[in-house]
Structure 1
Amino acid sequence: MLMKDPGLPRQRLLLVEDDPGNRMTLTMLLEDEGFAVVTADSFARATQLLSNAPRYDAVLLDSRLGDGDGRSLIPLVRRKLPDAKLVLVTGWLDEAGRCDLADAVFQKGKHFDELLACLARLLPSDP
């Protein structure tokens, strides 16, 4: 796993997920792995958080949000966070190969270890 030395700065992730159960589960699992997780429960909230130009090492972006198309946030992520890695999270098989603007696509329903492996490939081990 990606457990970090408690003395090292934690990598910051923005998790954009409108489903409360998925958001809570992913947040807990990611925090257990040593990530600092900030969540957005909607397109509107993600837009607010991204507009403040914080520092995130990665953005986990649900492709379909209740109040908007998560994929349309990609240009804002790229503009505000040019160094952040972007993982499109989707439950739709037809989207998995269509998003060349993301650094990776993660299929909902896959095992959490696969998401961790994806993040390990994208993020440096020492932030």
Structure 2
Amino acid sequence: MKTPGMARQRLLLVEDDPGNRMTLSMLLEDEGFTVVTADSFACATQLLGDAPRYDAVLLDSRLGDGDGLSLIPLVRCRLPAAKLVLVTGWQEEAGRCERVDAVFQKGRHFDELLACLARLLPPRS
């Protein structure tokens, strides 16, 4: 099932859990997104420093080697037009994130993430 207008949207997925990263990446690619993954705070920092072009960043709030929330200013600086979705399993973090465009709670259905991305990203022709 392809999401209309979402094809060729380029996403950066920052997720340190290998299973979550692989599953989410595959599901998003099946929907027509181009997905680049970062498995750590350090990897995300490097990818964001390489003059990237991403339409959206899906950011895990807690990474094994750093606080994902600390990446928010870097994302906003390097990718001012990109949409930023905080992906978290921690309800209390949703309230302290003013500079994100959306919060997606881990464990929710994938279709809800697709609906969120459809609301945030302009359709591509």
TM bucket by the smaller chain? Answer: over 0.9
**Which has the bigger relative contact order, CA under 8 A and spacing at least 6?**
2
Determine whether 1:80 maps to 2:81.
no
Alpha-carbon separation, structure 2, partners of 1:80 and 1:110? 29
Runs (4+) off by over 3 Å: none
How many percent identity over aligned positions? 81
Q: Alpha-carbon deviations, 1:25-81, whole Å to 9, x = none?
A: 000000000000000000000000000111000000000000000000000000100
1:35 and 2:33 are equivalent in the alignment: yes
Specify the code of the residue in structure 2 equivalent to 1:2: T
Distance in 1 (CA, whole Å) between partners of 2:4 and 2:26 is: 14
Runs of at least 5 residues in structure 2 that lack an aligned partner in the other structure: none
Q: Provide the residue aligned with 1:14 in structure 2.
A: 12
**Mapping 1:1-127, distance limit 5 Å:** 2-3=3-4, 10-126=8-124
Question: Could you tell me how far apart the structure 1 residues matched to 2:93 and 2:68 are?
Answer: 12
Gapped runs of 5+ residues in structure 1? none
1:51/1:80 contact within 8 Å kept: yes
Whether the 8 Å contact between 1:4 and 1:33 is mirrored in structure 2 is no
TM-score by length of structure 2 reads 0.95
- Going from structure 1 to structure 2, the CA distance change for 1:49 and 1:14 (only over 3 Å counts) comes to same
Q: Distance in 1 between matches of 2:74 and 2:51?
A: 10
CA drift of 1:4 comes to 5.0
Superposed displacement of residue 98, structure 1 = 2.1
Q: Distance in 1 between matches of 2:81 and 2:5?
A: 21
Distance 1:106 1:77 in 2: 17
